[in-house]
Chain A
């Protein structure tokens, strides 16, 4: 799905988290929003997912105005920073949650939910952990379960907030590859937020560098490395 961000601004009281920003995300792309904390990247991601609403501007999904759509209507697969797995449910129930929450008309049958959850557990290469609780998983396993839970709703796009932030360096490298593979397998338009320029450069098709609620540069990783547009970008990527 093609995502168009059209002059989006967001104010929290008197402070501007986002100055009007515009961005076109091609269908099927894997995009990184890169910037330091307070750059507005997470706010932009939450606006795409319908968790925040912009003060002004529009969001278009495949050319259709989606600005007023509720979070449920967006059908965005959202992976939260610390994964936000439901701690009182097993892994199986976590992944099945979105399917069970559907209205009766479109809700899959019990055996069908069972089949889909197991398929997702296979996809994240953790076929045997369905009965465990989130507290019994490692950080890397939790991240993959969060990804499976987001994919279960057959989302129109995948949004990830610092998906590797809480992991140690070795696991981080492994899971980068995992996200790339899942993106390529599903073909979903994917946006992830990161403050780690290596991560953005290695993983993304297109990197959006942000600072102070503004977009500093949009480009392929190689372009941004070769021709940083502003002083901020030059400093940030050499850090």
Chain B
């Protein structure tokens, strides 16, 4: 009798960290429920709303001149700011993880600043700094290079907002990997540049890719800071998120939701791309990461 009672307790006692089945089920259901409510349902609603009056109307609403200009502007802003932030992120992560210097702690705090400052405030700062009434901005406008209410301002604001993504992904990976492999490359005669290309970069490529994808998603979706610096000039400085808000405020809901669905689709494409790459290089990942 006592034997069977003992035996029935065995399966749950196999691992000290294993929770009872009902706890596990509760955790999984809570997570799935929240994901469904907060992520999947809104996403589905956006696509459903944009297609409510048929796909032809949705596509047509994206085909007008202003909409196309917004799509083009968003892609240009991402294409400029993401590579620049990737390079800046690698440089910052390198400076923080590969050698010791005074002010390192300050740099780490500064990298996080864009996460804690409201995007609207960031936008206003750029207007103050580069607006036509400022010292720098006035001079630049006089020489025909306006920053605010023009492409450079939008790129600057986007770079500010998305600066932390790449560096934040790289710093833990580069800290964990240490300097030994790079030192080994140098003792084997590699130049600093060769060491970077053949040892550092391959070792951080997955973190870098993930950082770049996050950075890209945010760069295309940024609203607050861009809304302030762009001046919302229709067809000229409106990016997709700003265009969506304008259309929505004008009760053009099919156009607004079609644009929103397209923006969401762009984000989904980047996520799919990441999963596809992970699947394609699964064996390589397994071989190089043992934890």
A residues adjacent to B (C-beta < 8 A): 49-51, 71-72, 74-78, 80-82, 84-88, 97-98, 101-102, 133, 135-136, 149-150, 152-153
Residues of B within 8 A of A81 (CB): 180
**Given the known A-B contacts A72-B191, A80-B180, are A88 and B186 also in contact in the complex, defined by CB atoms under 8 Å?**
no
Cβ of B203 and Cβ of A88 under 8 Å apart?
Answer: yes
Indicate whether A51 sits within 8 Å of B187 (C-beta atoms), given known contacts A88-B202, A133-B288, A135-B287.
Answer: yes
Where the two chains meet, the residues of B that have a C-beta atom closer than 8 Å to any C-beta of A are 180-181, 183-191, 194, 198-199, 202-203, 284, 287-288, 290
A-B contact pairs, 30 of them (CB 8 A): A72-B191, A75-B189, A76-B187, A77-B187, A78-B183, A78-B187, A80-B183, A84-B180, A84-B181, A85-B181, A86-B181, A86-B184, A88-B203, A88-B284, A88-B288, A97-B190, A97-B198, A98-B189, A101-B185, A101-B190, A101-B191, A101-B194, A135-B287, A135-B288, A135-B290, A136-B287, A150-B188, A152-B188, A153-B188, A153-B189
Q: A80-B180, A84-B180 are in contact. Are A71 and B288 (CB under 8 A)?
A: no
Bound: A88/B202 CA distance, A:
7
Contact of B185 among A74, A88, A97, A102 (CB under 8 A): A97
Provide the bound-state CA to CA distance between A81 and B184, in Å.
Answer: 11
Whether the pair B183, A82 counts as a contact (CB closer than 8 A) is: no
Chain B interface helix/strand/loop/mixed? helix
Most buried by A among B189, B190, B203: B189
Leading 8 A-B pairs by shortest Cβ distance = A98-B188, A84-B180, A78-B187, A84-B184, A133-B287, A101-B190, A88-B202, A71-B186
Number of inter-chain CB pairs below 8 Å? 72
Q: Which residues of A contact B290 (CB under 8 A)?
A: 135
Asked if A71 contacts B287 (CB within 8 A), the reply is no
B194 touches A71 (CB 8 A): no
Further 19 A-B residue pairs, CB within 8 A, beyond A86-B198, A88-B288: A51-B183, A72-B186, A77-B187, A78-B183, A80-B180, A81-B180, A85-B184, A86-B184, A88-B202, A88-B203, A88-B287, A101-B188, A101-B190, A102-B189, A133-B288, A135-B287, A135-B290, A153-B188, A153-B189
Chain A nearest CB from B189 CB (Å) reads 5
